[in-house]
Amino acid sequence: MGTAKGERRRQELVTAAAALLRSGGFDAVRHRAVADRAGLPLASTTYYFASLDDLVTAAAERTSRDELAEGREQLDALAEGEVDTPALVELVLDQLLGPESRDGGLDAVLLRYERLVGAGRRPYLAPLMRELRGELDALLAEILVRCGHPLDAVALRDLVSLVDGAVISALIEADPDPRAAGREVLIRAL
């Protein structure tokens, strides 16, 4: 597996699994579906990954790291100096709900929250999810500092909890734009 071809195939499988995770949640990440999406033989999934759990872990890590990288790019694109509160709110919501939620992406928000809740049902993901949560918190803290709204770690967790609660309530109520609920609570909090 140490060959360039082997690593390339492994990454193709991870990319396929991450795409399936984003579009269909954990239940979509199956050996056959991943192999089909990657255009590789079914046996390659068990050759490069000891178990489905290992493949799911790689998909969850890729998905989250890609989302964090997108957030860092958005932060880097900010002009130096203070950003107005509405722009800050949208940037924070992009990190929590995904930029695809900007245009009433109800399905995208549902999938993201299903993925986060589903991770809690998979104890093998717990160490990775804790690590990624720390990285997300650091990114959010940096965004808030750059925008002139620094928060300590406790206040940041509280802010994220407020948004999560508002968004989940909107999802329960079948609100077609749960991002609007997150926006309202963030504007009041900031």
Angle, nearest 10°, between helix axes 52-77 and 85-97? Answer: 170
Indicate whether 168 pLDDT > 80. Answer: yes
Alpha-carbon distance 190 to 183, whole Å?
10
pLDDT at position 62: 97
Alpha-carbon distance 15 to 21, whole Å?
10
pLDDT in tens, 15-71: 999 999 999 999 999 999 999 999 999 999 999 999 999 999 999 999 999 999 999
In this structure, how many other beta carbons lie within 10 angstroms of the beta carbon of residue 4?
7
Indicate whether 127 pLDDT > 90. Answer: yes
The full set of domain ranges for the chain reads: 1-59, 78-190
Alpha-carbon distance 53 to 29, whole Å?
10
pLDDT at position 105: 73
Whole-model pTM: value is: 0.88
pLDDT at position 79: 66
pLDDT in tens, 76-125: 887 665 578 888 899 999 999 988 898 877 888 998 999 899 999 999 99
- CA-CA-CA-CA dihedral for 136, 105, 58, 34, to nearest 10: 180
pLDDT at position 159: 97
Indicate whether 172 pLDDT > 80. Answer: yes
What DSSP designation does 151 have?
A: -
CATH 3.30.930.10 for domain 1-59, yes or no, is no
Least confident window among 3-7, 97-101, 103-107, 176-180: 103-107
